[in-house]
Chains A and B, each alone.
Chain A
Amino acid sequence: DIQMTQTPSSLSASVGDRVTITCRASQGINIYLAWFQQKPGKAPKSLIYAASSLHSGVPSRFSGSGSGTDFTLTITSLQPEDSATYYCQQYTSYPYTFGQGTKLEIK
């Protein structure tokens, strides 16, 4: 199975800040990497697919990059509504696997 490791596990930032979350795959996954945002008690929301493509309706302050084993999710100009847990997920092979999540708190 491909292991997905996110860093950090949690972070705290202020409105207007730029934050970066890293996701590392235990083996190469090309660009088949997705990012999700999940707020407490809610379903995940799809943010990014194919490492860097934004889903329709996702604000442009969200961006993704990377290929192979190392990927990043960047949020520029942080907003209060960005407080959530973020997950990466590889979909290159079964079983699909998720990172353990990064909890983002807005100060």
Chain B
Amino acid sequence: EVQLVESGGGLVQPGGSLRLSCVASGFTSTGFWMSWVRQAPGKGLEWVANIKPDGSGKYYVDSVRARFTISRDNAKNSLYLQMNSLRAEDTATYFCARIFCGTGGCYYDYWGQGILVTVSP
């Protein structure tokens, strides 16, 4: 059974840093793109970042580029999101998601339960 479990969230002051982790089980992460998606309280879904299976390619939404870094450790089946210079508008539940690539393109198939990040004084 595929499982994605996020950790590392919490309350942080504006300008602070936080590192989210996502541990995958039930599959070997080396074969898959991985992603972070966030959802501000009461709002819709927003894509944050993607990373290639071997970590060689990383893609970000403009609002987090240069502040957030996506990375992975395939030996540990883990995905990370280093978040620096945090702002109030980064307050959200952050979801880790797996991307499956096939004949229908590269699309989300499995999601973690999410972890809340609150940026507040």
Contacts and interface: CB of A to CB of B under 8 A. Distances in A.
- Which size class do B's interface residues fall under? 20 to 34
Nearest to A32: B105
Say what secondary structure dominates the interface of chain A.
loop
B54 to A, nearest CB: 18
Contact of A46 (B59, B105, B111, B113): B111
Interface in A37-59: 38, 42-46, 49-50, 53, 55
The contact size tier of chain A is: 20 to 34
Q: Which of A43, A92, A98 has the most CB of B within 10 A?
A: A43
Given A91-B105, A95-B61, A95-B62, A43 B44 contact: no
Nearest to A51: B104
B111 A43 contact: yes
22 contacts: A31-B105, A32-B107, A42-B113, A43-B113, A44-B37, A45-B111, A46-B107, A46-B110, A46-B111, A49-B104, A49-B108, A50-B103, A50-B105, A50-B107, A87-B45, A91-B106, A91-B107, A94-B59, A95-B62, A96-B47, A97-B47, A101-B44
